[in-house]
Amino acid sequence: MEVKKRAERLKDVNEITITVISDENNLPKDKVFYNYIKDISESGAKIQANILLPVNALLKIDFTLDTPERQVAVIGKVKWINAIIEDNCYEVGVEFVDTPGESIKKITEYISWKQKSTGLNPFGLPFWIYPKTNEPESK
């Protein structure tokens, strides 16, 4: 099955809280659980889940984007599932639907910011701050 991505994805890991908002029979008994986003775009995300979520299930996904720190809440619809470890770990493709424009704007700005900061530091090396040479070091 070929999945077309509508927007550029940023590989980034963020902790998320997922609330199942669908009322289908084959949903997990726990309605709230915690997992990770593995990549994100303004139109969707790939998440890692420890429970099987059926295709077309509706989810409320809450997470915090790091630097600039912002709370984001989106509604997502499960588009595909890939078992990584059967009955234990899954990758889930989620398309954002009925999500407020403000949340999409925060995601878009975050992706842009992250790409610029990676462009300035392509090797991911930490920036070191050295003391000025004319100031004595603290002891």
User: How does pLDDT run across 95-127, given as a tens digit for each residue?
Assistant: 999 888 999 998 888 888 888 776 655 555 555
- In-domain check, residue 3: no
Whether 135 maps to a domain, the answer reads no
CB 18 within 8 A of CB 59: yes
**How many structural domains comprise the chain?**
1
Which residues are within 8 A (CB) of 114 and not within 5 positions of it... i.e. 6 or more apart? Answer: 10, 12
Closest CA to 35 of 91, 110, 100, 97: 91
On whether residue 74 sits in a domain, the answer given is yes
Domain-embedded: residue 4:
no
Closest to 1 measured CA to CA, from 57, 97, 79, 76: 79
Tell me whether residue 27 is in a domain.
yes
Q: Which tens digits make up the pLDDT trace of 30-72?
A: 677 778 888 999 999 999 988 888 899 999 999 988 766 688 9
Q: Is residue 104 part of a domain?
A: yes
Integer distance in angstroms from the first to the last C-alpha of the chain?
62
Using the structure block, give the residue that is written with the tokens 């809280």: 17
Assess if residue 109 is contained within a domain: yes
Q: Name the helix (H) or strand (E) containing 102.
A: helix 101-120
Does the pTM surpass 0.85? The reply is: no
Beta bridge partners of 2: none
Q: Phi and psi for 126 in degrees, rounded to 5?
A: -70, 145
User: In this predicted model, which residue has the larger pLDDT, 134 or 67?
Assistant: 67
What range does the domain containing 56 cover? 10-120
CATH code, 47 = 2.40.10.220
CB environment 82-94: b (16+ within 10 A), e (fewer): eeeeeeeebebbb
